Structure 1
């Protein structure tokens, strides 16, 4: 009788041993449903981030193509004008406004396209940064839930993480418009367009 009474407390201790957090989540319908929902949202966010990254890469490739096309187009036009300028200069000078106008319109078209794609790149960068922050927040919530199990306080933990995110946003402050590299590139292209315009008239008249 004494041996059985001595072994009972040890059996009770093993049965009363706390479960693993994942086992606690599996036994709790609320936490189990919450974990499934968060995992689904985490997978959705990762797909959206990868999609935005691919769109951002394609936009940057298009901007690079427009820069290259700008210089290739004007170089080709200048070479053609130079090769066809073997006639006397006076008749060509009377009609110099036609190629100058075409050069100006094509330059404005390239500048508008580059500016539009640059603005699209900025918008995609902001969206991608925000979605990456949301994915990090959700991943942190999932890890905390897996670590704490049923001890995870939904309102307390999520509100704390949201406050941390809002503090990061406030630390960045309002995005003041600065002299960005894309604005400098547009000014360089505008100067190059004016130079091409002057070269066009010079080649036709001299």
Structure 2
């Protein structure tokens, strides 16, 4: 009895041996190790793109603000110059030629509206790209955490396929918007341009 118990005792440490840590399992498996390196590298690239997109958005917003200021500054300066011209010259003669500053005011308004609309669309495009990059970063971070937690139990084909399906399903989830705040901004500046055009006519022929 004593001999049989001694012969069976060496098997006990093997039965109760603690499994290796998932990170050690990944380090010993070339496929999982390579996948983890690729995902960590891609994660770093996504973070760099997010930082770049955020910088571009901030720069575009500053340019839009500058366009707002230039719009009001140009029309205000033009009205002041026209008002001073009417106080020194023949108002009847100026009224006959009022179509010249009116056309210039209209072209200036249309030019600013086009530039503001273009910058707003560019900002919206950057915001959508930034949102996609953030979603990609979250999905990738989730996969990296799962890989580190499961080790060799991580099913490569299943998890990678789930990541691809999550990216493909995300494309059709964007809501369709008929009107946005940017459209009302363009309408506001169009109304302001029409007001400036009416004021130009009133100053020259009032």
TM-score, scaled relative to structure 2:
0.89
Aligned-residue CA RMSD in angstroms?
Answer: 2.1
Aligned match of 2:35: 34
Deviations 1:21-71 (A, max 9, x none): 000000111100110011001100110111111111111111111112111
- 1:24 and 2:25 correspond: yes
Alignment of 1:1-206 (within 5 A): 5=7, 8-13=10-15, 16-86=17-87, 87-167=89-169, 169-170=171-172, 172=173, 175-206=175-206
Query: What is the CA–CA distance in structure 2 between the aligned matches of 1:163 and 1:33, rounded to whole Å?
Result: 22
| Matched residue SS, 1:19 | coil
* In structure 2, distance between residues paired with 1:105 and 1:94: 19
Structure 1 runs, 4 residues or longer, greater than 6 Å off: 1-4
How far apart are the structure 2 equivalents of 1:93 and 1:83?
14
| Structure 2, gaps ≥5 residues long | none
Structure 1: runs of 5 or more not aligned: none
Q: State the shift of 1:164 in Å.
A: 4.4
Query: Partners in 2 of 1:69 and 1:155 — Cα distance?
Result: 56
Q: Secondary structure at the match of 1:84?
A: helix
C-alpha distance in structure 2 between counterparts of 1:143 and 1:162, whole Å: 17
1-side partners of 2:38 and 2:171: how far apart?
26
